[in-house]
Amino acid sequence: MINILVTAKDGQLGHCFQDLASKHQNLQFVFKNSSELDITNKDHIEAVFNTQAFDYCINCAAYTAVDKAEEAVELANKVNHLGAQNIAEACEKFGVTLIHISTDFVFDGEAHSPYLESASTNPLGVYGKTKLDGEKAIAKTLEQHFIIRTSWLYSEYKNNFLKTMLRLASQRDEIGVVGDQIGSPTYAKDLAEVVLQIIEQNDTNFGTYHYSNQGEVSWYDFANEIFKIAQSQIKLNKIETSDYPTPAKRPMYSVLNTSKIEKTLNIKIPAWEKSLLIAYSNLEE
């Protein structure tokens, strides 16, 4: 039996791992939320790691409020950077392999083709910078690690673009959505399955990987597909980033090249439209 510790069980990715747990009988999970395992508290982490011998730790914990991070710099750094370092140090001490979830926000969005893992990083805001600092701390601390950068994460759980669009469609007749930021939507359950595949294959090709669903679209395109699936009559207008200023700058282009993880794990990543349909149908159940 492979023992796995999962942080941030109340987040959307944490929920997805819980959903999948019963399908993976050879894996034994321990799920912790932020009050049960505070990654900013070294004593807290040590106490949890002392409860049993874990083979893997999947760190889903993060400060993800991109705009609020511009003001809450210390808190974002405490969770995304120092928290990641704390987890890595515990994994090193207890001989645990760390799988850490990171973000496309480590890039500045000035590329014109999908970002390779080796591409130069240049985050535009506090969220991206603290996540990148967390990546660097992990790589410096622990050899046995996988850092998986993902983008535009959504699911049936918590707050995300899919659920926000469906809520707005029930409240309004018309909305505007940004059409000049390009990326790849990622269904959190697809990401969770890939993480579990890394574990089940006992993969030791440690390092940084990119994972998102296939295809690149704008937020406007993403919203349009959601409304099409939901058969919503809402009027959707395409707007520009300059029409909707936010405290934190977003990468204008953040498509991730996923060929490395596809080759390493020998997987075929589903198209974003196909996964969106599954996520929506799960919401309707």
The residues annotated as belonging to the active site are: 127
Give the per-residue pLDDT at 95: 97
* 2-152+187-212+254-270 carries CATH number 3.40.190.10: no
3-state secondary structure the chain: CEEEEECCCCCHHHHHHHHHHCCCCCEEEEECCCCCCCCCCHHHHHHHHCCCCCCEEEECCCCCCCCHHHCCHHHHHHHHHHHHHHHHHHHHHHCCEEEEEEEHHHCCCCCCCCECCCCCCCCCCHHHHHHHHHHHHHHHHCCCEEEEEECCEECCCCCCHHHHHHHHHHHCCEEEEECCCEECCEEHHHHHHHHHHHHHCCCCCCEEEECCCECCEEHHHHHHHHHHHHCCCCEEEEECHHHCCCCCCCCCECCECCHHHHHHHCCCCCEHHHHHHHHHHHHHC
Only one residue has tokens 């809450």, namely 72
Task: From first to last of the 285 residues of the chain, give the pLDDT tens digit.
Answer: 999 999 999 999 999 999 999 999 899 999 999 999 999 999 999 999 999 999 999 999 999 999 999 999 999 999 999 999 999 999 999 999 999 999 999 999 999 999 999 999 999 999 999 999 999 999 999 999 999 999 999 999 989 999 999 999 999 999 999 999 999 999 999 999 999 999 999 989 999 999 999 999 999 999 999 999 999 999 999 999 998 889 999 999 999 999 999 999 899 999 999 999 999 999 866
Burial 93-120 (b: 16+ CB within 10 A, else e): eeebbbbbbbbbbbbbbebeebbebeee
Report residue 181 as tokens.
Answer: 């930021």
What pLDDT does residue 285 have?
61
The DSSP bridge partners found for residue 214 are 271
Domain coordinates in residue numbering, the chain: 2-152+187-212+254-270
CA distances from 96 to 2, 142, 185 (A): 11, 9, 30
Nearest C-alpha neighbor of 81 from the set 53, 48, 39: 39
Residues 70-129 have pLDDT tens digits of: 999 999 999 999 999 999 999 999 999 999 999 999 999 999 999 999 999 999 999 999
CB atoms within 10 A of CB 33: 15
Instruction: Specify the amino acid at residue 188.
Output: A
In this predicted structure, what is the pLDDT of residue 284? 65
Which residues does 206 contact at the CB level (< 8 Å), separation at least 6? 97, 143, 144, 145, 146
Determine the residue type at 198.
I
Token digits of residue 232: 């919503």
Helices 161-171 and 272-284 cross at an angle (nearest 10°) of: 60
